[in-house]
Amino acid sequence: MSNSLYQNLAWLPKAPADFATRCRSLTQQKDNFGKRLQALASHALEENELIRLAKTIGRARESGFSFAPMTSFRLGLISNSTVDFIVPALIASMARYGIALECVSADYDQGIQEALNPDSAINRANPDAVLIALDYRGLPLRAKHGNPEEAEATLRAALGHVLTIRSGIKANSKAACILQTLAPPAESLFGSLDRVLSGTTSSLIDALNLGIANSAAGTEDVLFDVARLAETVGLADWHSPAQWNMAKLPFSNSFLPLYADYVSRIIAALRGKSRRCLVLDLDNTLWGGVIGDDGLEGIQIAQGDAAGEAHLSLQRFALALRERGIVLAVCSKNQDEVARLPFRKHPEMILRENHFAVFQANWNDKATNIKAIAEELSLGLESLVFLDDNPVERALVRKLLPEVAVPEVPDDPSLFVRMLSAGGYFESVLFSEEDVKRADFYQDNARRVALGKEVGDLESYLTSLKMEITFQPFEETGRARITQLINKSNQFNLTTRRYTEAEVARTESDPNFFTLQVRLADIFGDNGMISVVICACRPESAWEIDTWLMSCRVLGRRVENMVLLEVVQHARRRGIRKLKGRYIPTGRNNLVEHHYAKLGFTQTRQEDDGTTLWELDVNGASIETAPMVVHNVGFAMEEA
Amino acid sequence: MLATEIFEKLSLIFRDIFDDDAIVLKPELTAADVDGWDSLSHIRLVLAVEKTFHISFSASEVARLKNVGEFVNLIGSKCS
């Protein structure tokens, strides 16, 4: 699982099934080519898809397409293994980072000649950077075992080889060099002794890698730690002896997308394209559970609890990012005071309000909120990463704000940190005092900022969700979940009346009650039961809405409109003329203060405790619907 | 796995790698008959086949392949 997380670039959304067709249509028109290319490249593409996309890019270049607003970059590539697949993979992956790459590679194993000759293809191309991608199998790494002097000499020669290439490039083209460390072989000779015995391949590579890293430190050249990458995914998987023998591929071709993405993020960092701000969701992201419903005692954030530990490690990671200069912000669908409660009152929280520059907790759509965060921080949207456990929110932000990086996350919060880290959004080629001070520069006062105009076309997004809503009266199989929702929902809950399972059961057969349990499914899956309504018969052909609650997960999709429409239709069939609503404020349900007003009810009374009473004329009601398919299950025949 | 099934899957791989939806595989087809079937795309073919069929080839098996028919037979012998 963990290896495939890296191998499949699992933080990126999956490639569309019609990828080949989309590749073709990229070059069918010239408008907006750069943006469309970057959008397509931002999927998790496998080896052949990368090569296909690179061919498309090549054709576009030949036909004189404009790559704006992408940044152009020329990379030289020196290697002692086969790079014929690496070059197209780099060209395609770099588009993901908004870089239009041209790549010049030296002939097989011509590194030194290519570097030292001022007139070589690479030096003539005047590259912005040269990637020196050497494999240990092509370096003179042989020494007698247990002979430190000879090992030292071997090491000097090998490091000299790398540094000669590097200084040749410097002298002839002034390009920055990207120096790779070497992935050690999976095989050992002595076993664990390999690491300490002088002259073994393993100890020579260890020392050489250290030498390469030290030689890059403090210079304008940068390191690409391939050894670390290979160890991360596992050396036995990284090296494919068969593919080396067959075609001198330096690593298993299934890691081509990963390798190319790693090179791309380093080059993006060289061009100042690293991201600078992490925007975090709260419920089920920074802690387990929903603060508005579960309360301070109910959320999972304590040590000793597996889910709590997982969310704590995300907080720890976010704090570490902040300490290296990444700005933190919150974007959550919540009531502001409720959302701030854990930061103020929960003893186990690692993150506190003063770690955040902006704190957006409200019920508006997240795209509009994220735009407001970017504007407040004077950062471009392309500087932001947005982490949210909810796939619907992720897809919305990706669609409306494609510049924002939105990593996919697995269901298990234990893997949130790994996913966020594997995405490499904050790749950096240097670290300075300014980075440390940056967080303070942004004034971490967790301020709330006003929202601008709503962004993008929410309506077409709602349609794309292909929602299906199912209405059913209360019955035995749903009873437990209905009771649970009635006793746990605090936020979207008009009256917050709690009932026991026996009381719920009684309404099932009592003709004086009309009840609804509501389920919602969409392209991301089944959300299960998300809303509950209980209407009680009142004199003069009226229904009073005793209970109306909904899960906040499905806010902003006009589910409440569809629920009202359903209630109204049943009311009409039964000759009911009036719907009476009641809003009882509890301090936690401000969200629905204007619920009835928004749905077209008229206020009839306000009581001293803030409770408001509402009425709707059933026959005159006009309700704005939402794009979803409606299913009815289990309603009595006489209604039909 | 039936030879027809292998032919079908292999055709998809060929069409993807050579970006040519018109390719129709016949047992006697050789590298000389397909535009762009050079040593590198041969490696790509082999890697794609390994991935699709969840099998692996040795270097010598790959070197011995003369035409599509032999390729299909080799895949068949590993998938049984």
Q: Is residue A12 part of a domain?
A: no
SS3 A202: helix
Nearest beta carbon to residue B17 from set A48, A243, A254: A48
Q: Is residue A514 part of a domain?
A: yes
Q: Is A67 on the interface with B (CB under 8 A)?
A: no
Tell me, yes or no, whether A85 and A155 share the same domain: yes
Q: Is B19 on the interface with A (CB under 8 A)?
A: yes
Q: Is A121 on the interface with B (CB under 8 A)?
A: no
Nearest beta carbon to residue A246 from set B17, B51, B62: B62
Cα–Cα distance for residue pair A299/A287, rounded to 1 Å: 7
Residue of chain A whose Cα is closest to the Cα of B47 = A253
> What's the CATH number where A244 sits?
3.40.50.1110
Q: Is residue A541 part of a domain?
A: yes
Are the beta carbons of A359 and A342 closer than 8 angstroms?
no
Residue A200: the pLDDT is 95
Least confident of A139-143, A156-160, A370-374: A139-143
Q: Which of A209, A241, A270 is the last residue of a domain?
A: A270
- Using a CB-CB distance cutoff of 8 angstroms, which residues of chain B are in contact with residue A55? 19
Tell me, yes or no, whether A410 and A304 share the same domain: yes
Nearest beta carbon to residue A253 from set B47, B56, B59: B47
Evaluate if residue A404 carries a pLDDT over 90.
Answer: yes
Residue of chain B whose Cα is closest to the Cα of A246 = B59
SS3 A633: coil
> What's the CATH number where A619 sits?
3.40.630.30
Q: Does the beta-carbon distance from A246 to B44 stay under 8 Å? A: no
Tell me, yes or no, whether A266 and A294 share the same domain: no
Q: Does the beta-carbon distance from A242 to B44 stay under 8 Å? A: no
Q: Does the beta-carbon distance from A85 to B44 stay under 8 Å? A: yes
Residue of chain A whose Cα is closest to the Cα of B45 = A48
Tell me, yes or no, whether A289 and A241 share the same domain: no
Q: Does the beta-carbon distance from A242 to B57 stay under 8 Å? A: yes
Token pair, residue B38, equals: 């050079």
Is the bond into A88 cis (omega within 30 degrees of 0)? no
Evaluate if residue A11 carries a pLDDT over 60.
Answer: yes
What pLDDT, in 10s, does the model give residues A252-311?
Answer: 999 999 999 999 999 999 999 999 999 999 999 999 999 999 999 999 998 888 999 999
Number of domains in chain A: 3
- Using a CB-CB distance cutoff of 8 angstroms, which residues of chain A are in contact with residue B58? 242
Nearest beta carbon to residue A246 from set B19, B43, B51: B43
For residues A406-420, average pLDDT: 96
Q: Is B48 on the interface with A (CB under 8 A)?
A: yes
Cα–Cα distance for residue pair A482/A533, rounded to 1 Å: 10
CB contacts < 8 A (A, B): 32
For A516, residues 6+ apart whose C-beta sits below 8 A from its C-beta are A471, A472, A473, A474, A531, A532, A533, A563, A566, A567
ipTM for the complex?
Answer: 0.91
Tell me, yes or no, whether A261 and A303 share the same domain: no
Proportion of chain A above pLDDT 70, given as a percent: 99
Q: Is residue A182 part of a domain?
A: yes
Cα–Cα distance for residue pair A384/A401, rounded to 1 Å: 10
State the DSSP code for A33.
H
From the centroid of its chain, how far is CA A537? Answer: 48
Q: Is A117 on the interface with B (CB under 8 A)?
A: no
> What's the CATH number where A435 sits?
3.40.50.1000
Tell me, yes or no, whether A424 and A552 share the same domain: no
- Using a CB-CB distance cutoff of 8 angstroms, which residues of chain B are in contact with residue A52? 16, 19
Q: Does the beta-carbon distance from B40 to A243 stay under 8 Å? A: no
Tell me, yes or no, whether A344 and A446 share the same domain: yes
Q: Name the residue among A388, A387, A396 with its Cα closest to residue A367.
A: A396
Q: Does the beta-carbon distance from B16 to A20 stay under 8 Å? A: yes
Sheet arrangement for strand A71-79: A99-105, A71-79, A129-133, A176-180, A222-224
Tell me, yes or no, whether A441 and A486 share the same domain: no
Mean pLDDT computed over every residue of chain A: 93
Tell me, yes or no, whether A218 and A347 share the same domain: no
Q: Does the beta-carbon distance from A84 to B40 stay under 8 Å? A: yes
A89 is in which domain, residue-wise? 72-270
Q: Is residue A289 part of a domain?
A: yes
Q: Are strands A277-280 and A384-387 parallel, antiparallel or unpaired?
A: parallel
Residue A640: the pLDDT is 42
- Where is pLDDT greater, at A196 or A2? A196
Residue A508: the pLDDT is 94
Strands (E), A397-488: 467-472
For residues B4-22, average pLDDT: 90
Q: Is B49 on the interface with A (CB under 8 A)?
A: no
What pLDDT, in 10s, does the model give residues A510-568?
Answer: 999 999 999 999 998 898 999 999 999 999 899 999 999 999 889 889 999 999 999 99
Cα–Cα distance for residue pair A478/A507, rounded to 1 Å: 13
Cα–Cα distance for residue pair A310/A417, rounded to 1 Å: 9
Tell me, yes or no, whether A518 and A416 share the same domain: no
Q: Which of A211, A241, A270 is the last residue of a domain?
A: A270
Sheet arrangement for strand A277-280: A358-362, A327-333, A277-280, A384-387
Q: Does the beta-carbon distance from B44 to A20 stay under 8 Å? A: no
CA distance A245 to chain B (A): 7
Q: Is B31 on the interface with A (CB under 8 A)?
A: no
CA distance A241 to chain B (A): 10
Cα distances (angstroms) measured from residue A227 to each of A52, A77, A137, A189: 28, 18, 14, 19
Nearest beta carbon to residue A52 from set B19, B57, B62: B19
Q: Does the beta-carbon distance from A48 to B57 stay under 8 Å? A: no
Cα–Cα distance for residue pair A331/A280, rounded to 1 Å: 6
Q: Is residue A169 part of a domain?
A: yes
Domains by residue range for chain B, with CATH = 3-79 (1.10.1200.10)
Q: Is residue A9 part of a domain?
A: no
Q: Is residue A298 part of a domain?
A: yes
Cα–Cα distance for residue pair A539/A339, rounded to 1 Å: 42
Angle between helices A148-173 and A201-216 (to 10 degrees): 40
Q: Which of A430, A456, A482 is the last residue of a domain?
A: A456
Confidence tier at A450 by pLDDT (50, 70, 90) = confident
What pLDDT, in 10s, does the model give residues A460-488?
Answer: 889 999 999 999 999 999 999 999 999 99
Cα–Cα distance for residue pair A76/A103, rounded to 1 Å: 6
Tell me, yes or no, whether A482 and A586 share the same domain: yes
CA distance A409 to chain B (A): 25
Q: Does the beta-carbon distance from B44 to A48 stay under 8 Å? A: yes
Tell me, yes or no, whether A146 and A178 share the same domain: yes
Substitution target in B47, B65, B78 with the highest count of A β-carbons within 10 Å is B47
Q: Does the beta-carbon distance from A242 to B43 stay under 8 Å? A: no
Q: Which of residues 225-284 of A touch B (CB under 8 A)?
A: 242-243, 245-247, 249, 253-254
Are the beta carbons of A460 and A517 closer than 8 angstroms?
no
Q: Is A20 on the interface with B (CB under 8 A)?
A: yes
